[in-house]
Structure 1
C-alpha cells in the first residue's frame, strides 16, 4: 500500500492529530462526526504502519523504525496533555472552597471522558508500540488512557490536592453543622483520588495509595479535630446521657457519609477515629456516670452506654461497677429482711386457702420465722428479687453480654453466701433454701396451683446455682424430704420428682441417688403393708386389729436417727408390734428392724368430754404414750408418767408442754417437770375442730436437729477431702503442697468450698495413716504410698 509523505512525517501528522485531540479534550466529542473519528484513527494508523515500511528500506529492519516514530507521537501527546493541564491548573488556582470543588469536579469528568476517547483513537499505538515498550520493561511508558491519568496526577493533582482537600473538609464541616451540601462534589473528588492510584510496577493495575494518603488521612485528621472540639463543648453544657445520644447520632451520620460519597475502605478507619475521639477519650466520664444510671434504673441509657462502650473495648469498668452495685443491693436486701422487713416483691408461688381444710385441722408448719433467724420464704424471695431485677437488666440493657452475665453471677454468689444472715453460720443460705423448698412441697392449709409451685421451684434452682455449700442443702433437703414422706405430707409426688430431676441436672446422679432411693423404699413399704394387712385379716378377728401402717426404710439412704430416749410401747400396741416383727422376720430372715418411735404418729378418738363432743387427736408416739395412760385414771404425777412411758425427761417435758398448751391436760400444782407436779385430764376440753393436730415441732429440738445436721456435714466433709486427696495423689504420684491444695479445692468446689485449714488437717491425718508421705529432700512435696 502506498503512503503519502504527510502520513510519515510527524511534523505534518501531529497538527492534524492535535486538532482532533483538541476537539476531544474540549468535550466536543458529541459534535464529532463518525467520519471525523475514522479520519483521526486512520491518520494515526497510517503513521504507525508507514513508518514500519519506510524504516525497513532505510535501516534494514522494521523494529527500530517503529520504536522511533511511535516514540515521537507518544511524546507529542504527552507534551500536549502537560500544556493542556497547565492552562486548566492556572484557572483552578484562582478558585477556592466550593467553587474550586465544582471546577475540579467538572474538569475531572470532562478530562476522563476525553481520555477514554483518546485511548480508542490511539488504539493502534497502544497495541503495538506501547505494548512493546512495556514488555521491554520501560516503566514510564503507559497506555494512552493511563498516560492521561498520570499527566493529571503530575500536572494537576500534585499542585491542587491540598487546596482541594481543604475545600472538601470545609464542605464536610458545613454538612456536620447541619447545612445541606452538594455531596456529589466530594464523591467526584473521591473518585479522582481513587483513579489516580496507579501501580508503578503494572500500569494496568490500580492501588488506593493516593486516596489513602491524600484524602483519607487528612479527612480523618480533620474529623478528629472537629469532634474533639465539639465533644468538649457539648459535655461542658449537657449531661452524659444527652452526650451519648449525640454520639449515636454522629456515628450514624458518619456511616451514612461513607455510603453516599466516601470510598467503602474508609468505613473502618473513619468509624475507629470517631469512636476513639467521641467514646474512648471520654470513657472515664462515661463510666463515672454509669453508677448514677444504675441507681436510677435508667435501662435505656445503660443500653446506649453499653452499645457505645463495646465499640472501644471499654466494658471492663462498667462490669466492675455493675458487679459491685448488684452485690451491694443483694446485701442490703438481705439485711432488710434479717431485721424483720418483708421481701421487696413476691417471686414465688402465691398461696390461697383451700376449702375444707379448717375442719380437718391441718396446719402449715415450718413457714414461720425460725428461732433467732429469718423466715426462709422472705429470705429466698429477697435474693430472687435482686437477681430477677438485674438479670432482666443484663438481658435488656447489656444484650446478655457474657461479661455482664459473669459479673451478675459473681455478685449473686457473694451476697447469697456472704451476707448478714450468713455471718454467724456461713452455711445458712443452703439451710434456709432447703426449708423454703420444704414449705413449697409440703401439704399445708395454704395451697397453690401445681404450675405455680413448679415455677417457684425453678426460682429455687436459680438461688441454688449460686449456693457454694451444696452439700449442706443436700443434707437439709434429704432430712426434710424424709419427714415429708414418712408423715405423708408431700403436696405432690410429681412435684417431688420434678425437684429431684432439677437437682440431678444441676449436680449429677450421685447428688440425688439417695433421694431417689427413698421413693423406692416408699413403694416397697406400700407392698409390705398390703401383705401384712392381708395376713392379719386372715389370721385374726376384725375387732382385734388396729388400723396400722408402717414404713420399712433402708438405713443407708434415709437420714433418720433412732430416738435418743427410751420408750415403753403402750399395751394397746404390743400385739400389733409383735405380730409385725414375726411377719417381717419370716419374710426377710436375718434382717434387723430398728424402730424409730420418734417419727411415728397416731390418731386417738376421744369420748371423755362432758359436752359429749367427739374429737380426733393427731399425736406423736410419745404424746400417745402419755394420753393412753388416761384410759385408766384422770390424774397422774410427773414421776408416774415418766416411769410408765419410759420417755426421757427432757423429751417428755417438750411433749407435755404441747398437751398443756392445747389444754388437753391441766397442770394442777408445781411446775412442768417437777417430781410432785400433777397432770389432770381436762374433761371440759372444747374444740371448734373435729380433728386436732397436736404434732408440733419443739423449737429447741428443731434447733438441735439443725446443729446436728451441720455437724454431720462437717464430718462428711472431712471424709470427702481425704478421699479427694488420696484420689489426686494416686493419679499424680508426687505433688507439691500448693498444687495438691489447688486440685482439692477444684475437685470439691462443685459440692462445697473447702477451707484451707481443713485440707491441711486432712493431709496430716493421711500422713499419719501412711496413705501419703513427705518426699525426702524436697520441701512441701508429697508422694503417694502404694
Structure 2
C-alpha cells in the first residue's frame, strides 16, 4: 500500500487568485489528505479554504478582465478551469500508478482484499472530491459537456474513468481469476466470504460509464469482464464434474446431483450476483448438466417406466423440461409404452372370444389408463403434451387390440354392454357401489372410442330394454349418463335417448288416465273381467325396436284386455295406430295347481310362454301341433319357449325325452318344486341375442351409408363444385366424430349419388352439385 500521507501542515493559500501553481500546491495537499487519510480528513475551516481557493481561481479572470465581453469572460474561465481539471486528472493518474504497483504484489484472496480496500478508499475519496470541486463541476465542466466536448466528466466520474483506464485494464484478469477460484471453493463445499465477490461485482458495474451520457452507467463492463468469464468458468466446471460423476455413479444419482447443483446456482444469484445473470447462468448450467447428457437421460427413461419409478421420472421430467425439445423423445416413449401396456392388458382377457365378459374387458382398458393418467398428473405435472400422448396411446389400444382384430366395432359394443350392466338393477349391487364413479369410467373409455355410432346403437337398444322391462337401477343414473353423453357428443347424439325417457313419462300419465277411465266406464264386475296390465306407448321414430319375426295369436283373455285399452287410446288420439310388440311383453301367472306351503308358485313369463301355459287351463296334456296351431308361433320362437319350461320342469314331455317337434305332447308337472316362490322363466335366448347383435351391426352399416351420403350432399350444396380428393377429405372431417370412415366407402357413396343424379362429373374432372 502506498504510504504517501502528508505529514506536514498545509502550504499557504495562494495570495493571487490566478496563481495556478500556488493554487494547485494548496489543493494537492488537501486532495492528498482526502485520498490517503479519510479518517483524519480535513476540518471544516480547511475544507472551506480549499473550496474558496477553487472558487477564486475559477473566477479570477473575470476580476482582471478589462473588457465586458461575454467571449472574454467565457474564454478566461474556460482556460483557468481547464488547467485545474487537467492538474487533478494527472494527479489521479499518478496516484493510481502507485496503487497498481502495490496491487501486483498480491494474489488470490489477498489480491481481492487489497482490490476491494483500495476501491472503497478511492470511490469514497472521489465522492469527497466531487463535492470539493463542485464549483468547477457546476460551471466549467457543465459548460464543456454542454458544448459536446468529449472526455470531459464531472469530478466523481473522472475518478471512475481514471480507475477504469489506469487500474482496471491491467488488473481485472487477475481480480476475476481470484473471484472464480473463490466461487469454485464454494462449489466444492468450502465456506467463503461472499461479500468479497459482491463488492467486485459492484465495482465492475460502477465502471460501466455510458459514452453518450457520462452521468449514466451501463452493464457493458460488467457483462464483458465479469459475466462472460463467470459463465465460461461455470460451464467448464460443470462439464468436468458431470462427466466424472457419471463415470462412477448411476443415472438416477446423477439426476439428483444435477437437480441439487441447479438449485445451488439459482440460490447463488441473490447472494452476490446481479439478477441479470440469472437467465444466462441457468442456461449455461442446463447445457452443461442436462443438454450434453440428454441422450443418456432419455435412455434411462424406459427403465424408469418399466419399474414404475415415479419420483425419478418426475425428476427427469423437471430436468429435461429445462432444455429446448428435451421432452419430445420422452413423450414418444411414454406413448409407445402405454399403448403396449394397454394391448398386453387386453391380451390377458381376449381368449374368451364371443363370451368375453364386458366388465373384464372394460376393466382391463381402465386399469392401464388409470395408472398412467395418475403418472401424468404426478410425475409430469399434468402437462398438456403428455396428456396428448396418453390420449393417443389409449385411442390406439382401445380401438386396435386383439379383441378388435376381426371386428373393429367390438370395443364400442362391449362398452355399451358394460354400461348396460352398470345401469341395470342387479341383486349383486351393493350400497357401496359408487354409480357416478362407474359412469365416469364408462365415459373415460367412451372418449377414446372411434366408432361412437356403434356405441350409440347398442346403448340405445340396451336402454330401450331397461326402460321397457323396468330394470334400470336408477332413473337419476340413466339421466346422468345421457347428460354425460350429450356433453361429450352433442344434442343430436342423445336426442332419441331423451325422447325415449319422455315416452316413459307420457306412458305413466296415460296409464293413470286409463285407470280413471275404466273406473268411470265399467262397473266392478266388468273391471275384474280382465288382466291387470300396464301399457307403454313408444314412438316408432325414437325407439330402436322392431316387430317380432313371428306371427302370434294372443290368448282371448289378453285380447279382451288390450282391446279395452285400445278403445280408450283411440278416443284420446284419433288416427294413431298401435302396433303390439308381443316379443317385448311379459307378465306373471299364478300356478294354482302347485304350491309351496299352501302358497301358489308365480311364474314370470314372456307373453309367448303365457299363451302356451294358459292352454293348460283347459287340458292337462297338449300336443306340440296344437300349441303351434293355437298360438301360430314360428318354430324358431316356439321351440326355445318350450325348452325353457321343460328345463325348469314346469312341463314334462310325453314320451319322456321327446323332441320339440310333431308327435310330442306336453303335460303340467304337478310335482314341480323350486326354492323360490317366484320362478323366472322369461330368460333371454343366446341365439336371439346373437341375432340381435348381427342385426344391430347391419343397421349401423346402413346408417353409416346414409350419414356419409348426407354429409357429401351437404358439402356439395354449399361448395357447388369440388375436386374429388377435397370432397373425400372434407367428408372425413365432418363425420370423424361419429366413426372413422374408409375412403373406399366414401367413394362408393359418391358413385351412388352420381347415379341418383345428386352429383355429376364435370369435364375438368371435378364433381358438381345438381340442384
For the aligned pair, the TM-score class normalised by the smaller chain equals: over 0.9
Out of 656-665 and 443-452, give the one that drifted further. 443-452
Give the Cα separation in 1 of the matches to 2:76 and 2:659.
Answer: 137
Structure 2 counterparts to residues 666-705 of structure 1, below 5 A: 666-669=652-655, 672-705=659-692
- Aligned pair 1:419/2:430, yes or no? no
Give the Cα separation in 2 of the matches to 1:39 and 1:12.
Answer: 13
Residue in structure 1 matched with residue 626 of structure 2 by the alignment: 640
Give the Cα separation in 2 of the matches to 1:373 and 1:289.
Answer: 41
Does the Cα contact within 8 Å between 2:14 and 2:53 map onto a contact in 1? no
Give the Cα separation in 2 of the matches to 1:565 and 1:185.
Answer: 101
Deviations 1:121-157 (A, max 9, x none): 1101111111111111111111111111010000100
Q: Give the superposition deviation at 1:57.
A: 5.8
Residue in structure 1 matched with residue 480 of structure 2 by the alignment: 498
Q: Give the superposition deviation at 1:679.
A: 2.9
Q: Give the superposition deviation at 1:225.
A: 0.5
Give the Cα separation in 1 of the matches to 2:277 and 2:328.
Answer: 28
Give the Cα separation in 2 of the matches to 1:56 and 1:517.
Answer: 114
Structure 2 counterparts to residues 172-321 of structure 1, below 5 A: 172-313=183-324, 314-321=326-333
SS, match of residue 604 in structure 1: strand
Q: Give the superposition deviation at 1:608.
A: 2.1
Deviations 1:284-334 (A, max 9, x none): 111111111112222211222122211113111111111111111111111
Task: Summarize the Cα distance change of 1:568–1:450 in structure 2 as closer, same or farther, 3 Å threshold.
Answer: farther
Does the Cα contact within 8 Å between 2:423 and 2:474 map onto a contact in 1? yes
Q: Which residue among 574, 589, 596 is the counterpart of 2:574?
A: 589
Q: Give the superposition deviation at 1:610.
A: 7.9
Residue in structure 1 matched with residue 555 of structure 2 by the alignment: 570
Give the Cα separation in 2 of the matches to 1:117 and 1:255.
Answer: 38
Does the Cα contact within 8 Å between 1:139 and 1:201 map onto a contact in 2? no
Give the Cα separation in 2 of the matches to 1:159 and 1:234.
Answer: 38
SS, match of residue 331 in structure 2: helix
SS, match of residue 355 in structure 2: coil
Does the Cα contact within 8 Å between 1:470 and 1:752 map onto a contact in 2? yes
Does the Cα contact within 8 Å between 2:14 and 2:22 map onto a contact in 1? no
Out of 440-449 and 235-244, give the one that drifted further. 440-449
Q: Which residue among 14, 17, 22 is the counterpart of 2:27?
A: 17
Does the Cα contact within 8 Å between 1:657 and 1:672 map onto a contact in 2? no
Give the Cα separation in 2 of the matches to 1:29 and 1:54.
Answer: 39
Please, which runs of 5 or more residues in structure 1 have no aligned partner?
Answer: 341-370
Residue in structure 1 matched with residue 92 of structure 2 by the alignment: 81
Does the Cα contact within 8 Å between 1:607 and 1:614 map onto a contact in 2? yes
**Cα RMSD between the aligned structures?**
1.9
Structure 2 counterparts to residues 338-417 of structure 1, below 5 A: 338-339=350-351, 372-417=354-399
Give the Cα separation in 1 of the matches to 2:391 and 2:738.
Answer: 17
Residue in structure 1 matched with residue 178 of structure 2 by the alignment: 167
SS, match of residue 167 in structure 1: helix
Structure 2 counterparts to residues 62-77 of structure 1, below 5 A: 62-77=73-88
Give the Cα separation in 2 of the matches to 1:286 and 1:266.
Answer: 27
Task: Summarize the Cα distance change of 1:584–1:610 in structure 2 as closer, same or farther, 3 Å threshold.
Answer: closer
Give the Cα separation in 2 of the matches to 1:202 and 1:532.
Answer: 100
Task: Summarize the Cα distance change of 1:378–1:57 in structure 2 as closer, same or farther, 3 Å threshold.
Answer: same
- Aligned pair 1:102/2:113, yes or no? yes
Does the Cα contact within 8 Å between 2:728 and 2:743 map onto a contact in 1? yes
- Aligned pair 1:757/2:744, yes or no? yes
Deviations 1:108-127 (A, max 9, x none): 11111111111111101111
SS, match of residue 514 in structure 1: helix
Does the Cα contact within 8 Å between 2:453 and 2:700 map onto a contact in 1? yes
- Aligned pair 1:605/2:590, yes or no? yes
Out of 732-741 and 477-486, give the one that drifted further. 732-741
Task: Summarize the Cα distance change of 1:562–1:699 in structure 2 as closer, same or farther, 3 Å threshold.
Answer: same
Residue in structure 2 matched with residue 343 of structure 1 by the alignment: none
Give the Cα separation in 2 of the matches to 1:711 and 1:56.
Answer: 121
Residue in structure 2 matched with residue 8 of structure 1 by the alignment: 18
Q: Give the superposition deviation at 1:696.
A: 1.0
Normalised to the residue count of structure 2, the TM-score between the two structures is 0.94
Give the Cα separation in 1 of the matches to 2:355 and 2:533.
Answer: 38
Q: Give the superposition deviation at 1:731.
A: 1.6
Give the Cα separation in 2 of the matches to 1:773 and 1:320.
Answer: 45
- Aligned pair 1:630/2:642, yes or no? no
Residue in structure 2 matched with residue 462 of structure 1 by the alignment: 444
Give the Cα separation in 2 of the matches to 1:196 and 1:599.
Answer: 95
Residue in structure 1 matched with residue 8 of structure 2 by the alignment: none
Deviations 1:374-421 (A, max 9, x none): 211122122222222211111111111111111111111111111211
Give the Cα separation in 1 of the matches to 2:760 and 2:456.
Answer: 34
Task: Summarize the Cα distance change of 1:738–1:448 in structure 2 as closer, same or farther, 3 Å threshold.
Answer: farther
Give the Cα separation in 1 of the matches to 2:109 and 2:228.
Answer: 20
Does the Cα contact within 8 Å between 1:338 and 1:373 map onto a contact in 2? no
Greater relative contact order (Cα < 8 A, sep 6+):
1
SS, match of residue 444 in structure 1: coil
Residue in structure 1 matched with residue 501 of structure 2 by the alignment: 519
Residue in structure 1 matched with residue 4 of structure 2 by the alignment: none
Residue in structure 2 matched with residue 742 of structure 1 by the alignment: 729
Does the Cα contact within 8 Å between 1:56 and 1:62 map onto a contact in 2? no
Does the Cα contact within 8 Å between 2:30 and 2:42 map onto a contact in 1? no
Give the Cα separation in 2 of the matches to 1:51 and 1:163.
Answer: 48
Does the Cα contact within 8 Å between 1:105 and 1:188 map onto a contact in 2? yes
Deviations 1:582-635 (A, max 9, x none): 333333222211111000001111022387662000001111122222222333
Normalised to the residue count of structure 1, the TM-score between the two structures is 0.93
Out of 371-380 and 712-721, give the one that drifted further. 371-380
Deviations 1:645-664 (A, max 9, x none): 21111122222221122121
Q: Count residues with an aligned counterpart.
A: 752
Deviations 1:458-487 (A, max 9, x none): 221111111111111111111111111111
- Aligned pair 1:42/2:52, yes or no? yes
Q: Give the superposition deviation at 1:187.
A: 0.9
Q: Give the superposition deviation at 1:21.
A: 1.0
Does the Cα contact within 8 Å between 1:565 and 1:651 map onto a contact in 2? yes
Structure 2 counterparts to residues 474-553 of structure 1, below 5 A: 474-537=456-519, 538-539=521-522, 541=525, 542-553=527-538
Q: Give the superposition deviation at 1:450.
A: 8.4
Give the Cα separation in 2 of the matches to 1:378 and 1:451.
Answer: 17
Residue in structure 1 matched with residue 434 of structure 2 by the alignment: 452
